[in-house]
């Protein structure tokens, strides 16, 4: 594990008095270096448990047992307001995850994530993107985040396309809900699904401000050619009942 630089921020609180099990890992990115990201979080009175810079250096901003302010309004697999239930990790990414992450950074993320998952027994279904849990608001950690690779190492879950034939359901909202998405805005949920599992369907937006202000196409409909991937994901997530 890389050396952890502890630079605690005051923007956190206790998890609720009614004990809330830590049962999710939320992965983010921001278009800042780690020192600049810390300044921005301070200015906005926000926090995350960790930041990993492009060289793989880890900054800890909040103790894991405390509730960091990183997820905001969010929902996943029956959990509302995921700050209560999660550990949050931010990654520095100059283009918000639209190009490949640095190898050192991903190696560090893998080690830290596996440690957290093992310690809290976090279900693989609950290793999520900020865009998964807040699909109308957030595009991170981006279309180039290596979800498939991480899943092979036990961080998150990927699909096997052959499983699509095992699912009779063809209704997109129902299938997205089986994975864990809030489908109140179907276009947003469908696009968030593509960010995670079908990145080739996601447009690149060079200007970061535009990317953050145009998180999803309001008229987006999941193309029919990707329905089999959605069905395969729904099957795999349906097998994993934890969380």
C-alpha dist (Å) from residue 30 to 40, 54, 217, 218: 10, 11, 21, 23
Model confidence at 239, pLDDT cuts 50, 70, 90, reads confident
Whether 17 shows a pLDDT value over 70: the answer reads no
Report phi then psi at 26, rounded to 5.
-110, 125
Model confidence at 240, pLDDT cuts 50, 70, 90, reads low
Work out the mean pLDDT of the chain and round it to a whole number: 95
**pLDDT tens column, 48-66:** 999 999 999 999 999 999 9
Residues 3-28, mean pLDDT to the nearest whole number: 87
Residues 66-70, mean pLDDT to the nearest whole number: 96
The 10 Å CB-count burial string (b at 16+, else e) for 181-198 is: bbbeebbbbbbbbbbbbb
Tallying the residues shown for the chain, one arrives at: 243
Domain that holds residue 149: 4-239
The reported pLDDT for the residue numbered 21 is: 85
**pLDDT tens column, 116-175:** 999 999 999 999 999 999 999 999 999 999 999 999 999 999 999 999 999 999 999 999
Model confidence at 3, pLDDT cuts 50, 70, 90, reads low
CATH value at residue 197: 3.40.80.10
Closest among 109, 119, 99, 95 to 48, alpha carbons compared: 109
**pLDDT tens column, 171-187:** 999 999 999 999 999 99
Evaluate whether 31 touches 96 at the Cβ level (below 8 Å): yes
Catalytic residue check, 225? no
The reported pLDDT for the residue numbered 243 is: 45
| Model pTM score | 0.95
Q: What percent of the chain has pLDDT over 90?
A: 91
How far is the C-alpha of 158 from the C-alpha of 125, rounded, in Å?
Answer: 10
Count: domains in the chain: 1
**pLDDT tens column, 90-126:** 999 999 999 999 999 999 999 999 999 999 999 999 9
Name the active-site residue from 90, 204, 213, 225. Answer: 90
Write the CB contacts of 238 (distance below 8 Å, at least 6 apart in sequence). Answer: 178
Q: What percent of the chain has pLDDT over 70?
A: 95
The reported pLDDT for the residue numbered 168 is: 96
The reported pLDDT for the residue numbered 19 is: 55
Whether 84 shows a pLDDT value over 90: the answer reads yes
């Amino acid at each position: 594990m890389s050396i952890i630089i502890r630079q605690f921020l005051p923007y956190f609180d206790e998890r609720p008095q009614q004990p809330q099990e830590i049962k999710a890992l939320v992965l983010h990115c921001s278009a800042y270096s780690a020192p600049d990201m810390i300044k921005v979080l301070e200015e906005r009175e926000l926090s995350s448990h960790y930041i990993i810079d492009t060289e793989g250096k880890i900054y800890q901003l909040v103790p894991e047992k405390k509730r960091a302010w990183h997820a905001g309004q969010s929902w996943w697999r029956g959990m509302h307001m995921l700050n209560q239930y999660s550990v949050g990790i931010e990654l520095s990414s100059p283009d918000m995850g639209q190009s490949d992450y640095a190898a050192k950074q991903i190696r560090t993320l893998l080690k830290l994530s596996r440690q957290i998952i093992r310690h809290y027994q976090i279900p693989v279904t609950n290793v999520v993107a900020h865009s998964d849990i807040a699909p109308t608001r957030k595009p991170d950690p981006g279309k180039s985040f290596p979800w498939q690779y991480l899943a092979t190492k036990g961080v998150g879950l990927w699909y096997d396309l052959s499983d699509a034939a095992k699912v009779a359901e063809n209704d997109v909202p129902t299938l997205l809900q089986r994975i864990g998405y809030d489908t109140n805005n179907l276009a947003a949920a469908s696009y968030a699904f593509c960010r995670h599992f079908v990145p080739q369907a996601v447009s690149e937006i060079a200007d970061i401000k535009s990317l953050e202000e145009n998180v999803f196409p309001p008229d987006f409909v999941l193309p029919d050619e990707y329905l089999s991937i959605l069905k395969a994901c729904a099957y795999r997530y349906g097998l994993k009942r934890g969380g």
